[in-house]
């Protein structure tokens, strides 16, 4: 029932303050009607008079609906919020003439953001949190059925493979649907991991297999036989058995040196030593001063000498 009272004061503001104290309300909870501005006269003054009408108290759901209506007007969205239920939870329906895809967003990101804002407004001043659901075009019900179907399907996969299955990141409302869908499943358990906003649900089968690493002399996880030294086929390496590197023979005394890495005869030292380059690259050549073409390496050793420099 609306309360109407008239209050007086030297000014309008003083009259309003006096009325708020007497009624025990705030300025936002009343409607102010000025009856007399208040005037000063030569002898005395006329007091200001105001009439305060207490507004009917709005419920939490009505405040959320009013907020969404103003929000859509500022954003230029042609949608009308309507309060459907306000018992155990607050449900607000959005009616729009435009395609609902733009209002719902990708994977419901847009409507989830709207729902978060509406929940914050509806729970302002409350001691216990009341759940707020914003729906558009029956999206919430369809999404819930889809999540339940996905939960059952992935639970069966987890049991068949004996491994954990992780779902994509979801908001708390959708994670709650997954947990509720599998709470009575005797073969799996569920838990949430990660941190917001990338928190996700993990489905854990009761027949979870431990991580089986390859034994040193056993099989790997794929059942292939082999050990750490035997490689994939047990032959020593991936490409078969490794052959020993052939040992290089030292050239006999008097044999021309034919490689840049050949061994050279030391002066007074016994034997051969590495690193001394005194030969030539490629095939041994005959004497360049001979007019005849050079002979093959096998016969040139008897008929000619190595090519020398002018200093020798």
Question: Which pLDDT does position 230 carry in this prediction?
Answer: 46
pTM of the model: 0.53
CA dist., res. 11 & res. 38, Å (int): 6
Give residue-wise pLDDT tens across range 18-71. 888 888 888 877 888 888 877 766 666 778 888 888 878 888 999 999 999 999
Instruction: Name the least confident of 103-117, 153-167, 240-254.
Output: 240-254
Q: Which residue has the higher pLDDT, 122 or 289?
A: 122
Measured at the CA of 43, the angle between CA 38 and CA 44, to 5 degrees, comes to 40
Q: Give the residue, 33 or 263, on which the prediction is more confident.
A: 33
Could you tell me if 65 and 91 are in contact, meaning their C-beta atoms sit under 8 angstroms apart?
no
Query: b or e along 210-245 (b: 16 or more beta carbons within 10 Å of the residue's beta carbon)?
Result: eeeeeeeeeeeeeeeebeeeeeeeeeeeeeeeeeee
SS3 label, residue 220 = coil
Q: What percent of the chain has pLDDT over 90?
A: 35
Contact 18, 9 (CB under 8 A): yes
How many Cβ atoms are within 10 Å of 17's Cβ, its own excluded? Answer: 15
Distance in angstroms between the alpha carbons of the first and the last residue of the chain: 129
The pLDDT value given to residue 295? 46
């Amino acid at each position: 029932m609306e309360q109407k009272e008239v209050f007086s004061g030297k000014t309008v503001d003083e009259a309003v303050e006096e009325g708020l104290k007497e009624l025990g309300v705030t300025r936002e909870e009343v409607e102010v009607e000025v009856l007399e501005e208040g005037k000063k006269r030569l002898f005395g003054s006329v007091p200001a008079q105001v009439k305060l009408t207490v507004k009917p108290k709005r419920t939490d759901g009505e405040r959320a609906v009013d907020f969404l209506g103003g929000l859509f007007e500022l954003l230029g969205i042609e949608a009308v919020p309507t309060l459907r239920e306000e018992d155990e939870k607050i449900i607000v329906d959005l009616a729009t003439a435009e395609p609902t895809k733009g209002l719902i967003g990708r994977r419901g990101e847009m409507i989830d953001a709207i729902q978060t804002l509406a929940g914050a407004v509806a729970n302002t001043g409350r001691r216990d949190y009341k759940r707020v659901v914003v729906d558009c075009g029956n999206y919430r019900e369809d999404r819930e059925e889809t999540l339940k179907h996905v939960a059952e399907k992935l639970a069966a996969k987890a049991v068949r493979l004996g491994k954990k299955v992780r779902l994509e990141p979801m908001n708390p409302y959708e994670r709650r649907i997954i947990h509720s869908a599998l709470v009575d499943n005797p073969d799996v358990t569920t838990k949430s991991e990660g941190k917001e906003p990338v928190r996700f649900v993990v489905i854990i089968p009761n027949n979870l297999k431990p991580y089986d690493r390859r034994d040193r002399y056993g099989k790997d996880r794929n059942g292939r036989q082999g050990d750490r030294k035997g490689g994939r086929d047990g032959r020593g390496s991936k490409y078969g058995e490794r052959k020993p590197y052939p040992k290089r023979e030292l050239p006999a005394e008097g044999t021309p040196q034919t490689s840049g890495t050949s061994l050279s005869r030391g002066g007074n030292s016994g034997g051969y030593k590495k690193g001394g380059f005194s030969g030539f690259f490629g095939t041994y050549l005959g004497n360049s001063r001979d007019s005849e073409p050079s002979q093959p390496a096998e016969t040139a050793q008897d008929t000619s000498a190595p090519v020398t420099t002018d200093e020798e």
